[in-house]
């Protein structure tokens, strides 16, 4: 604790916003905090990376380039399209890369069943990827009309539209308030329930705008509700907690784990898991305060603006 009685990084627990609007231009596909991640993971010539959120495979490629020809990478993603794209993007690396379609919370099972070697480095890059936002059919964007789906894995679980129908008003309002930091959650959910079924992204965005009326908001009013529903649909906070604990336990001695989060809910879970692992003597914390992107990176990659990187080393 600091002399003021606050944790050294307590001020970083304020809401860490993703980009406040979804820009109309095409997103950059550069991996966020690329150099900072590589410096923290410190890959050696025979390094073994587990990337639990593949995206487009940018961090995997950067890791293997830094590590050298003896290094290998094993990757997971809950989104089968991300696995397909990463497979194509990393094809030139051949047998050095092994990928699987699975949630990050399944890393322990997948590693055991497939006989993957113990990792010397583990990475999670949380939240949405650019293609997921850009593809209207996925239902993540409040600017693009599409079905209200929001599942990372479209082969599993209920859609956002189905959850709006199924969940009681009180429970739904609580989750929107907590996961989205939405002060008008009750009013928004009340209006949603009146308009059921809500089946498209533009329908939901219009309802949120109606609930806000003339109230001002420093971010697009629908952003928080969409964030909350996405996290609810994919059970993201529980998945992060389970996956990060498994990652810590799988690490080889001296191995390092890193997580990039983009808003306060994710960051709180990451910080708590890593602190508890340190208290149990499993790891030592490498980032007393989260590592943030440089101004230059933020100018070139809008997604990086709210990124926070935390890391530990296995004892």
Q: Scan for tokens 């990187």, then name that residue.
A: 309
CATH assignment of the domain containing 292? 3.40.50.150
Q: Residue 2 falls within a domain, yes or no?
A: no
- Say yes or no: 50 and 183 in one domain: no
Q: Which of 233, 266, 292 is the last residue of a domain?
A: 233
- Say yes or no: 18 and 124 in one domain: yes
- Say yes or no: 17 and 125 in one domain: yes
Q: Which of 233, 256, 286 is the last residue of a domain?
A: 233
DSSP 51: E
- Say yes or no: 223 and 249 in one domain: no
pLDDT score recorded for residue 132: 87
Give the torsion sign (CA, 242, 229, 290, 121): positive
Q: Residue 136 falls within a domain, yes or no?
A: no
pLDDT score recorded for residue 302: 83
- Say yes or no: 218 and 290 in one domain: no
pLDDT score recorded for residue 3: 35
Positions in the chain whose pLDDT score sits under 70: 1-29
Give buried/exposed letters for 205-231 (b at 16+ CB in 10 A, else e).
Answer: bbbbeebbeeeebeebbbbbbbbbbbb
Q: Residue 146 falls within a domain, yes or no?
A: no
- Say yes or no: 263 and 225 in one domain: no
Q: Residue 53 falls within a domain, yes or no?
A: yes
- Say yes or no: 122 and 18 in one domain: yes
Q: Residue 141 falls within a domain, yes or no?
A: no
CATH assignment of the domain containing 224? 1.10.150.170
Domain count, the chain: 2
pLDDT score recorded for residue 29: 59
- Say yes or no: 57 and 190 in one domain: no
pLDDT score recorded for residue 23: 41
pLDDT score recorded for residue 68: 87
Q: Which of 233, 262, 294 is the last residue of a domain?
A: 233
- On whether the CB atoms of residues 143 and 209 are closer than 8 A, the answer is no
Q: What is the pTM of this model?
A: 0.88
Cis before 208? omega within 30:
no
* Residue span of the structural domain in which 90 resides: 10-131+236-314
Q: Residue 140 falls within a domain, yes or no?
A: no
Q: Residue 149 falls within a domain, yes or no?
A: no
Q: Residue 138 falls within a domain, yes or no?
A: no
- Say yes or no: 300 and 228 in one domain: no
- Say yes or no: 246 and 209 in one domain: no
Strands of 283-285's sheet in order across:
97-101, 72-77, 48-51, 121-125, 256-261, 308-314, 283-285
- Say yes or no: 16 and 83 in one domain: yes
Nearest to 139 by CA among 123, 128, 151, 127: 151
- Say yes or no: 21 and 114 in one domain: yes
């Amino acid at each position: 604790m600091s002399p003021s009685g606050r944790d050294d990084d307590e001020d970083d627990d304020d809401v860490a916003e993703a980009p406040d609007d979804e820009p109309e231009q095409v997103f950059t596909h550069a991996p966020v905090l690329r150099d900072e991640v590589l410096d923290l993971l410190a890959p050696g010539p025979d390094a073994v990376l587990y990337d639990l959120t593949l995206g487009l495979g940018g961090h995997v490629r950067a890791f293997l380039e830094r590590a050298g020809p003896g290094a290998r990478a094993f990757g997971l993603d809950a989104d089968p399209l991300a696995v397909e794209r990463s497979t194509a993007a990393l094809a030139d690396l051949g047998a050095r890369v092994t990928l699987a379609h699975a949630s990050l919370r399944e890393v322990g099972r997948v590693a055991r069943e497939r006989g993957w070697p113990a990792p010397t480095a583990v990475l999670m890059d949380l939240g949405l990827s650019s293609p997921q936002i850009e593809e209207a059919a996925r239902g993540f964007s409040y600017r693009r009309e599409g079905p209200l789906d929001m599942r990372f894995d479209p082969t599993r679980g209920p859609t956002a539209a189905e959850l709006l129908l199924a969940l009681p008003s009180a429970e739904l309002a609580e989750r929107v308030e907590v996961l989205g930091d939405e002060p008008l959650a009750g009013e928004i959910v009340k209006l949603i329930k009146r308009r059921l079924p809500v089946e498209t992204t533009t329908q939901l965005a219009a309802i949120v705008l109606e609930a806000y009326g003339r109230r001002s908001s420093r971010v697009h009013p629908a952003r928080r509700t969409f964030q909350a529903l996405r996290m609810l649909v994919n059970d993201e906070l529980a998945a992060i907690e389970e996956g990060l604990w498994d990652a810590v336990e799988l690490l080889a001695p001296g191995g390092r784990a890193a997580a990039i989060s983009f808003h306060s809910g994710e960051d709180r879970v990451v910080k708590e898991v890593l602190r508890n692992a340190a208290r149990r003597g499993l790891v030592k914390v490498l980032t007393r305060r989260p590592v943030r992107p440089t101004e230059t990176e933020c100018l070139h990659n809008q997604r990086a603006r709210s990124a926070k990187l935390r890391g530990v080393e296995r004892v």
